[in-house]
Amino acid sequence: MACDGVVAIGASAGGVEALKELAANLPPDLPFAVMVTLHMRPGGPSLLAAIIDRSGPLPAATATDGAVLEAGHIYVAPPGHHLLADDHRVVLTVGPSENGHRPAINALFRSVALDYGPCAVGVLLSGLLDDGVAGLAAIRDRGGVTIVQEPSDALFPDLPRNAVKAGVAQHKAVVSEIGGLLKQLANREIEEPEMDPDGLLELENRIAMAKRFAISFDPEDLGPPTTYTCPICKGTLMAVAEDTYRCPIGHAWSAQALLFARDEELEEAVSVAVRILREKAKLSHQLAESAGPETRNRYTALAAEAEHTIAALVAGLSESQQTQLG
C-alpha cells in the first residue's frame, strides 16, 4: 500500500555533526516528513533548526505544536519539550522526562510507531547510553523500519551500538549514506500488519503526551514495583520491561541511564558529606585552640577523624570514576 511516511531521527552527544551530514545528503524530493530530537539542555534558545536548514536541501524549522507534518519538511524539537506525532500532526509536551531528558528519543519513536505504523522509519545517530533503543523496537514491532548510524562512523557510538546489541537495528549505514537509504525505502511495498492493541505502549505514549503532572494512571499498570527509586522524584520505580522502569509520576529510566543517574547522586552526596566534614574539622580545630589540655585532645581527635573520612570518601569516589572510565 502507499502511505504518507515519517522519518523520526534521534541523537545525543555528537549528534549535531551527524545531523548536519545527514541533512546535507537528504534527497530534495524525499517523500517523508522528518522529525528530529536531540538531547539538549532546557531553558535556552536552540540554533539546531537553523543549522540543519543551512546544511541541506530540505527546509528545517523548530517544531510548533499542532503543525501538520508535511513531506519534505524537517521539524526539530525545541529545548525542554518532547516532540511527538499524533494524527500526523506535531505535538509538543512537557511530559515527564525519560532517561533524564526532555526531549527524549524514546518518546518520539513510540509516538510515530503508534501514529504511522509501517510507514514510520526510525533513525538513531551518535550518542551516549541507550535512549531510543526501546523506541526503535516499537517502530520495528509495528511494521516500520529501523536504521542506525554505523557505530564506527559515530563520534559517540553508544546509541547505535546498543541498538545493534538489542537486535532492533534492521539497517546500519554511515551517516552520509542514510539519505540514499531513505530514498530507497520510500519505494518499498508497505504491508499493513495485523496488530493487537499494545496497552503498555499506548500508556507510555499517553504519559509523554500529557501536560506536566496531569495524567492519572495506576502505577501497577506499568508493571510490578521494584526496590529502586526514581532519581528525580524519589518515587518507587515499576519494572515496565527488562531493564526499563517508570515511577508513579511517569519519569522513565533504562537500567543504563538509572546507573548513570545514581553516579551523579553519589557524587552530589559525597560533595555534601565532604563539605560537612570540612566544617566539622575546622570547628574542632577552632575549639581545640581555646580548650584545656584534656578537652583539646578530644577536639583534635575529632578533627583528625573528620579529615581521615574526607580522604577516604574522595579516594573512593575517584576510584569509582576511574573504574567507569576504564
Residues marked active site are found at 12, 39, 131
38 neighbors 32 (Cβ within 8 angstroms): no
d(Cα 319, Cα 307) in Å, to the nearest integer?
A: 18
Q: CA 108 → CA 125, 203, 234, distances in Å?
A: 14, 14, 25
DSSP state of 217: -
Grid cell for residue 172:
546500519
Round to whole Å and give the CA distance between 232 and 98: 11
Cα(75)–Cα(72) distance, integer angstroms: 10
Q: Three cell numbers at 155?
A: 563520534
List Cβ neighbours of 308 (8 Å cut-off, separation of 6 or more): none
Number of H helices, E strands in the chain: 9, 13
- Judged by DSSP in three states, 204 sits in helix
Between CA 223 and CA 239 the distance in angstroms is 5
For the chain, how many residues are written?
Answer: 326
**What is the H or E stretch that residue 202 is in?**
helix 199-209
